[in-house]
Amino acid sequence: MENRENPTGDVLAGVGPRLRALRRARRATLATLADETGLTASTLSRLENGKLRPTLEQLLPLARAHGVPLDDLVAAPPTGDPRVHLRPVRRSGLVMVPLITRPGGIQAYKVIHPPAGRAPTMNLQTHDGYEWFYVLDGHVRFVLGEREFRLGVGEAAEFDTRTPHWIGSADNRPAELLALFGAQGERAHLAPSGR
């Protein structure tokens, strides 16, 4: 159980046993470790036995000597990797790169439409939800119901996806979009071919 009054004390209390285990795993003596770190053998013994509260000035040379990150000595909680690992999905000529990795809610994708004429035939689709897209590069041909639009870099559109729609490149260059849609839209855009 975490000590809410002194969580730092709880973290530091576990340092001694970790230091002892690391030293023993290396088969190093206190005297050898003292030579490597510049700390006295007595200080090292008191740190390992929990009789001395470790300081940063003591932990840094110990981490170097044992070849471990400082976080390992104090058993710091993992912070997680904040980077998004982009894994493109290719389907029917589109390349969709997910920009959000959490499930549910609004999803963000970079969508690359192939040049006009290289995309499959224009099939209007409908599904529940709303979609928003922003043109990053190229020109987009956007069909919404009976109307057709051409959008360029910096232009955006938002629409109810229950209205029949189609999006594609308007010319001989790929069109790159930033698209936001909910789960229904994600399923519609990533459904297997032949749906």
Q: Rounded to whole angstroms, how far apart are CA atoms 16 and 59? A: 11
The answer, yes or no, to whether residue 83 has pLDDT greater than 80, is no
Tokens read off for 138: 């190229």
Answer for the pair 153, 90: CB distance below 8 angstroms, yes or no. Answer: no
Answer for the pair 185, 158: CB distance below 8 angstroms, yes or no. Answer: no
* Sheet order of strands, 147-151 included: 147-151, 140-144, 165-169
Q: Rounded to whole angstroms, how far apart are CA atoms 134 and 177? A: 5
Answer for the pair 42, 58: CB distance below 8 angstroms, yes or no. Answer: no
The answer, yes or no, to whether residue 21 has pLDDT greater than 50, is yes
HSE value, Cβ hemisphere, 13 Å, CA-based, for 97? 11
Between 19 and 189, where is the model more confident? 19
C-alpha gyration radius of the chain: 29
State how far the alpha carbon of 110 is from the alpha carbons of 21, 176, 178, in Å.
48, 7, 5
Give per-residue pLDDT as tens, 99-144: 876 666 788 889 999 998 776 667 898 888 889 999 999 999 999 9
Phi first, then psi: what are they for 150, rounded to 5°? -120, 125
Confidence of residue 194 (pLDDT cuts 50, 70, 90): very low
Which whole number is the average pLDDT over 8-34? 83
Between 136 and 84, where is the model more confident? 136
Q: What's the confidence (pLDDT) of residue 145?
A: 94
Amino acid at the residue 12: L
Q: Rounded to whole angstroms, how far apart are CA atoms 191 and 195? A: 7
Which whole number is the average pLDDT over 152-173? 94
Which whole number is the average pLDDT over 69-93? 75
The answer, yes or no, to whether residue 91 has pLDDT greater than 80, is no
Q: Rounded to whole angstroms, how far apart are CA atoms 182 and 124? A: 19
Pair type for strands 94-98 and 89-91:
antiparallel
Q: Which residues contact 158 (CB under 8 A, 6 or more apart)?
A: 130, 131, 132
Q: Which single residue is written with the structure tokens 């297997």?
A: 192
